A and B are shown apart, each in its own frame.
Chain A
Amino acid sequence: WINTTFMAFCHIYSLVMAFRACLEEVQLNETLTHLKTESETLKSKLEDERAKLHDVELHQVAEKVEGLGQFVMKTRRTLKGHGNKVLCMDWCKDKRRIVSSSQDGKVIVWDAFTTNKEHAVTMPCTWVMACAYAPSGCAVACGGLDNKCSVYPLSLDKNENLAAKKKSVAMHTNYLSACSFTNSDMQILTSSGDGTCALWDVESGQLLQSFHGHAADVLCLDLAPSETGNTFVSGGCDKKANVWDMRSGQCIQSFETHESDINSVRYYPSGDAFASGSDDATCRLYDLRADREVAIYSKESIIFGVSSVDFSLSGRLLFGGYNDYTINVWDVLKGTRVSILFGHENRVSTLRVSPDGTAFCTGSWDHTLRIWA
């Protein structure tokens, strides 16, 4: 009798435990759902508060500003040499050299002024989606489907094999989408398809800081132009643009108004705002101090996504490279399109204004790069 009751007791006990576990799980799910709803409520409350502070649109404030005249912007140089889609490019601080990378794994350093190729490296992977020039002009960084960011010191000796000196710095768990040196040759900031950004020490390859917060692939980043600042902005497939503090790793501001992937982000020259370009065919301007979107740059006739954006030196013009093979030039203050530039025969995949603002360079899937001024 004792045996059977004991058995019965054990059975009941196990049932009760199982039931409790179920209950806990249900509770956990409920707590999770509850948290989710609470987070959504907070989000909409935040938007309401933001909206209250909004009084006028940027283009209304800019009404008194003089309009821009006609622009004559033409291709001044065409750089041919890549055998496949050009995916990324960056300027050297000397205002005339650039580095570019392409789908076939080639990374080329050009003197864009003379259109001569100065260095060429073949990466072991295809789709080199990111490349960057070091501030000193003595090295380049690149990466892509290999999930890494590698640094190549540029030698003055043309015969030297650059590939031999390659240094692997960053390691992600998915493709490298963008990389940038900070204002030093010794640190690199990267963003990846694994949803994170990271800051690395070049010499040791050590991870200095990682940045978590995007819910999907991070596609782009840009460092704040300030001498004293320690922030950068990133954009991702979760339609969000996040502003990060490099020191703490915290996300200090977040913007979610785009309707699709954000392919490119770029700071306004003063550092008080940034622009973004997205697959939803719009560019948007976000003011950091007002903490909201202040302008949308779009047109009914523009239905293809924006792959990359950059500002002219004064911040008055915003250049956008689009997947419909064109470049649209926007008046940042008035919100209108100033010019449309044709020339590329396939998507414009990358666009950067030169360090002194005298020209901008575009790279395209048509295998070429063009300098416009």
Chain B
Amino acid sequence: MEEVIARMQDDKNGIPIRTVKSFLTKIPSVFSGSEIVQWMIKNLDIEDQVEALHLGTLMAAHGYFFPISDHVLTLKDDGTFYRFQTPYFWPSNCWEPENTDYAVYLCKRTMQNKARLELADYEAESLARLQRAFARKWEFIFMQAEAQAKVDKKRDKIERKILDSQERAFWDVHRPVPGCVNTTEVDIKKSSRMKNPHKTRKSVYGLQNDIRTHSPTHTPAPEAKHVHVQIPVINTACFLCFSSKNSLLAYTEQYVEYDPFLTPSDPSNPWISDDATLWELEASKEPGQQRVKRWAFGIDEVLKDPVGREQFLKFLESEFSSENLRFWLAVQELKKRPIREVPTRVQEIWQEFLAPGAPSAINVDSKSYDKTTQNVKDPGRYAFEDAQEHIYKLMKSDSYSRFIRSSAYQELLQAKKKVKNTCRLKVYLVELPKLAIPVKPKNMSNKMAPACRPYQLGADRVSITYYQNVLQVWIIN
């Protein structure tokens, strides 16, 4: 933001600052909101006014420039006058002004020309609160305020106008109008790493220690002195750039029709239409055509989709060659178990698939077999890693391609989409705290599928479900 401010303040290409004459007084050092917006559109590659206003409002909210007659720090695209904040008050100086300072400031305001600088309601409330909190040292605060007011009176009128407004803007940032965002709030992850805790400035008016409340000061965390020598990591498998970028393109192109943001989903996107049919269909055991088509993209798609896995397994069982997939699935499952169960599971898998005379013997290359034999003696989650990799490659090149070419798969792919007309009437019941007869959701899972017995109502089948205070009547024909 400070970079942008520097450009805004540039003599040649910045925003022109001028003094405006109004009635009996002059308004020094101002520029209008529209001028800011225009400058931003011209100099910051901003396309429209909305964006410019948003960014400008943020910069104002952080206190880099401010409207001269409003506590609320926003940018308006009109003739409202704005002024730049003096660098002394910039957020980068790590201000954390204390309440004593705020008290002095508010007190000082009450001593000044009332007509011009009357306290706003929220400021008056804050002043009252602070008076109660600092009752014992109020005399000191009052004295400080008096002293500052005296100094201010001696200043040049124009200079005073500018400084007063800048001081007020500073407090608008650090004690914002109720309802406004406090831009001084910091993400705790970043603040605890603050590079220069000494830089935090706590008193705007240089108030000294013993009168202020004892707030915990930042003690810099003792820096662990360890020299970190970064060992550059060398990636051995380094593809040629061009081909890898093409693969990114290819992937995106292949999946474009599955991306709801790019291709409207069919049935409709539940979030837009408030109709959850899409999810119901996906949860059903019958996969849609589009879903089945996706399995042909690669073996991972089949393995990722539970219905795909099921179909793949079914196909392999029909060929009496399901042991590879079952082994692969078993090893995946092994890695998901708690560590306590691992040794037993490893033995079970070994016995079932790899031990001499195993009932579902799989064919692994001798190297992997030897390694696995060793691993099984000291079983860990990755005991079958080599064997699993070998089996995966085998499935990918052999079983998977046969599956995709199989009639079973082709049938699923050609299957006509069942056209189901579901008409639904939603009746919202506002409050159902106590019912004479408690209506228990039958077979209600967390899915939206109407999972209760349908009734016959003429030619239509009707289901009634009750879930989360909503009575739903489904008419399925």
Chain A interface residues toward B at CB < 8 A: 32, 35-36, 39, 42-43, 46, 53-56, 58, 61-62, 65, 68, 71, 73, 76-77, 94-97, 111, 113-114, 116, 127, 129, 137, 145, 175, 177, 182-187, 193, 201-204, 206, 208, 215-217, 219, 226-228, 237, 242, 247, 251-254, 261, 268-270, 272-273, 287, 289-292, 294, 299-301, 303-304, 312-317, 324-326, 332-333, 340, 342, 345-346, 356-359, 365-366, 371, 373
Contacts and interface: CB of A to CB of B under 8 A. Distances in A.
A33 to B, nearest CB: 9
Contacts of B233: 242, 251-254
- Top 8 nearest A-B pairs (CB, nearest first) are A184-B336, A203-B338, A314-B259, A314-B255, A289-B239, A373-B271, A300-B45, A201-B339
B241 A94 contact: no
A253 B238 CA distance: 11
Contacts of A46: 232, 234
Given A193-B192, A290-B245, A301-B46, A312 B259 contact: yes
Interface stretch (B66-74, B122-130, B275-283, B347-355): B275-283
A292 to B, nearest CB: 7
B44 interface: yes
Contacts of B245: 56, 58, 61-62, 287, 290, 294
Contact of B181 (A185, A219, A345): A345
B353 to A, nearest CB: 18
A307 to B, nearest CB: 8
B261 interface: yes
Contacts of B227: 32, 36
Given A43-B230, A237-B193, A314 B336 contact: no
24 contacts: A42-B232, A43-B232, A56-B242, A65-B249, A114-B468, A175-B192, A184-B336, A219-B189, A226-B300, A252-B235, A289-B238, A290-B245, A294-B245, A300-B45, A301-B40, A301-B45, A312-B260, A313-B259, A314-B258, A314-B262, A317-B259, A345-B181, A358-B269, A373-B272
B261 A53 contact: no
B230 A215 contact: yes
Given A61-B249, A65-B249, A35 B229 contact: yes
A96 B276 CA distance: 10
A261 B256 CA distance: 32
Contacts of B45: 299-301
B385 A358 contact: no
B185 A358 contact: no
B300 to A, nearest CB: 5
Given A32-B229, A94-B447, A273-B248, A312 B51 contact: no
A359 B271 CA distance: 7
Residues of B contacting A: mostly: helix
Contacts of A289: 237-239, 244, 247
B238 A291 contact: yes
A312 B261 contact: yes
B336 A55 contact: no
Contacts of A116: 468
Contacts of A56: 241-242, 245
A289 B241 CA distance: 8
Contacts of B249: 61-62, 65, 333
Interface in B278-310: 278-279, 282, 300, 303-304
Given A272-B247, A315-B251, A324-B58, A129 B300 contact: no
A340 B51 contact: yes
A36 B237 contact: no
Nearest to B241: A290
Interface string B192-235: 11000000000000000000000000000000000111111111
A208 B339 contact: yes
B229 A39 contact: yes
A312 B272 CA distance: 17
B260 A127 contact: no
Contacts of B185: 365
A46 B332 CA distance: 37
Contacts of B272: 76, 373
A227 B246 contact: no
B470 to A, nearest CB: 8
B232 to A, nearest CB: 5
Contact of A290 (B58, B239, B265, B300): B239
B190 A261 contact: yes
Contacts of A333: 248-249, 252
B248 A71 contact: no
B416 interface: no
Given A301-B55, A312-B261, A358-B271, A227 B300 contact: yes
Which of A201, A252, A314 is the most central at the interface, judged by chain B CB atoms within 10 Å of its CB? Answer: A314
B420 interface: no
A315 B279 contact: no
A356 B54 contact: no
Nearest to B233: A254
A244 B176 CA distance: 45
Given A76-B271, A325-B58, A193 B339 contact: no
A357 B282 CA distance: 13
Contacts of A315: 248, 251-252, 255
Contacts of A187: 336
Of the listed residues A186, A202, A268, the one surrounded by the most CB atoms of chain B closer than 10 A to its CB is A186
Given A53-B241, A252-B233, A313-B258, 12 more contacts: A77-B271, A116-B468, A201-B338, A201-B340, A228-B389, A252-B235, A291-B238, A315-B248, A315-B255, A317-B259, A317-B262, A371-B271
Contacts of A127: 188
Contact of B252 (A77, A111, A292, A314): A314
A269 B255 contact: yes
B359 interface: no
B466 interface: no
Contacts of B241: 53-56, 287, 290, 292, 294
B138 interface: no
Interface in B163-192: 181, 185, 188-190, 192
A287 B259 contact: no
B433 to A, nearest CB: 14
B266 to A, nearest CB: 12
B39 interface: no
Contact of B262 (A270, A312, A373): A312
